[in-house]
């Protein structure tokens, strides 16, 4: 079991305890939070509260999380948009809404389940029991190119390229506001948010994170941007763009809480991938077009110019 201690802030005052837990515990739903409270796994100020208890600022919330239930991997016939494939690697254009690998709250219906069906036993095991073939990840509501390895040789070779930055990943996004410069670099360490465990943040003791960006197009109140990852931290582009004061359009975690009509999650798409083939040593460069909803947002913005 894992024990967590959370401290409420002024913005949490008046929030129901079950809602607060769902927002601050990874892979915990509102109903899951209620179960934790009803089973006596949550205390506020050392006392066991009711599920509808409304929090005050500065309260100490202690939570005991049960050990996660074992997840059994199963192959599932989920359609894949395959951009490139050979006996060593497979590159997929991942749609929004598809989680990359199983985890508490998402036991199946993931990219891994789809890859298992398509590739059979031909997936590397280096990534761990629940992440066969997975070399790197992209967020559930980020779309675009992701590469998986079919054997350990390929996985090790691609992982090395991630470490030495020779595996290039290019993203396009629409950010809020107008960036002053035409290009730049964000070199700011990223780690777990001090209060909200579901979020990452720029923190002094975080891991080094570097994002290179350049402006592709400017609109009234928004900017179309290309981002190139030098490192690959969790939520890196989303955190770095928010850190500059220009969060990604539709990102309700790091930007405005208001959802954008016609947009599921953040307007962020992995458009390009370049790597050295781990067996042949040849460069492989791949690209994919924007999603329909991304194009719709650009069309709306262009119509206002």
User: Which positions are annotated as active-site residues?
Assistant: 139
Unique residue bearing structure tokens 């991942």: 94
Look up residue 67 and give its DSSP letter.
P
Cβ contacts of 68 within 8 Å, gap of 6 or more: 104
CA distance 265 to 224: 16
CA distance 158 to 139: 19
Distances (CA, A) of 103 to 62, 153, 178: 23, 25, 37
Query: SS in 3 state form for 195-255?
Result: CCCCCEEECCCCECCEEEEEEEEECCCEEEEEEEECCCCCCHHHHHHHHCCCCECCCCCCC
H or E element at residue 242: helix 236-243
Look up residue 248 and give its DSSP letter.
B
The token pair that represents 121 in the structure block: 């036993």
The torsion angles phi and psi of 21, rounded to 5 degrees, stand at -65, -40
* Helix, coil or strand: residue 243: helix
H or E element at residue 84: strand 82-85
Contact 224, 298 (CB under 8 A): yes
Outline where 76-148 has alpha helix (H): 111-119
CA distance 177 to 170: 21
């Amino acid at each position: 079991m894992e024990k967590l201690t959370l401290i409420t802030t002024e913005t949490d005052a008046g929030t129901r305890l079950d809602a607060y837990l769902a927002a601050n515990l990874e892979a915990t739903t509102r109903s899951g939070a209620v179960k934790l409270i009803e089973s006596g796994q949550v205390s506020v100020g050392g006392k066991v509260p009711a599920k509808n208890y409304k929090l005050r600022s500065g309260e100490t919330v202690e939570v005991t999380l049960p050990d996660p239930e074992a997840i059994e991997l199963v192959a599932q016939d989920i359609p894949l948009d395959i951009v490139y494939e050979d006996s060593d690697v497979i590159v997929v254009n991942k749609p929004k809404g598809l989680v990359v690998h199983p985890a508490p709250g998402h036991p199946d219906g993931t990219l891994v389940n789809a890859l298992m069906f398509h590739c059979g036993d031909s997936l590397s095991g280096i990534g761990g029991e629940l992440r066969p073939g997975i070399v790197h990840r992209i967020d559930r509501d980020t779309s675009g190119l992701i590469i998986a390895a079919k054997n350990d040789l390929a996985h090790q070779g691609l992982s090395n390229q991630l470490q030495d930055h020779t595996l290039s990943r290019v993203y396009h996004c629409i950010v809020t506001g107008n960036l002053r410069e035409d290009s730049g670099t964000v070199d700011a360490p990223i780690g777990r948010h001090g209060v909200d465990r579901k979020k990452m943040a720029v923190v002094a003791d975080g891991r080094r994170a570097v994002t290179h960006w350049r402006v592709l197009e400017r609109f009234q109140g928004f900017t179309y941007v290309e981002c190139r990852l030098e490192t690959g931290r969790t939520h890196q582009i989303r955190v770095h763009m928010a850190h500059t004061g220009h969060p990604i359009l539709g990102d309700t975690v790091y930007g405005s809480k208001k959802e954008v009509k016609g947009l599921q999650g953040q307007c962020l798409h992995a458009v390009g991938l370049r790597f050295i083939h781990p067996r042949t040593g040849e460069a492989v460069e791949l690209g994919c077009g924007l999603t329909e909803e991304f194009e719709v947002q650009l069309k709306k913005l262009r119509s206002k110019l």
